[in-house]
Structure 1
Amino acid sequence: MSESDETWSDDDPASGPSHRTPPPSDAPIVRIDELEVRRHAHKASMQNRVLAGVFGLILITLLVIVMAVSLHGITEQFALELARLVLPAVLGSAGAIVGTLFVTRGRDES
């Protein structure tokens, strides 16, 4: 057996076919539809989390005001004034956050 018949391996990436990149036909296929579905599902879950957070803040605000009145920590008149001051700001910011989420939905698709 001569030296040219011997087999050998080389770890150098430029050494030959064992280190070649696969042709495009061997690459995994990812459909654009699947990417759109995943993107939409992710965005919908984020919107649901934000909506739950905003609802939670409104609920906590009301709960704190009611608890303070029931424990005689503040007067009913002060609680009413506090609610008139805090709730419009909370509702306005909640509306702005939710509106921004739903308005930007159409802008991402273009």
Structure 2
Amino acid sequence: MYPTLFTNAGVKKFAEAIDEERSRQLAKFGDQHHPDGTGNKSQQDDADRARRFCQDAFGSGYGTWADILTEEVAEAFAERDHAKLRTELIQVASVCAAWIADLDSRPTP
């Protein structure tokens, strides 16, 4: 399909799954353009709370993938600056890739 450009295990599979889903979205909805809807004060406060909650959870030994993803999504929602929003969304995707790799490494129930 594509040349191997990825250096981290599982990222190629993740990227291909995203590409397949993106193709389905484009077929169903076409190319879409919407406002970001990010960066308001409430979203910034939510990001601060999510960050503290995640740090506390991991500090107590109870952190989860959901805590990490919640923090990253909240940080993306809090961002107004285009370049910083893009960086945050890449972090969201990276956490998703890591979580999926973890799921895929587990024995099938």
| TM-score relative to the length of structure 1 | 0.29
Q: Which has the larger radius of gyration?
A: 1
More helix by share: 1
Q: TM-score, normalised by structure 2?
A: 0.29
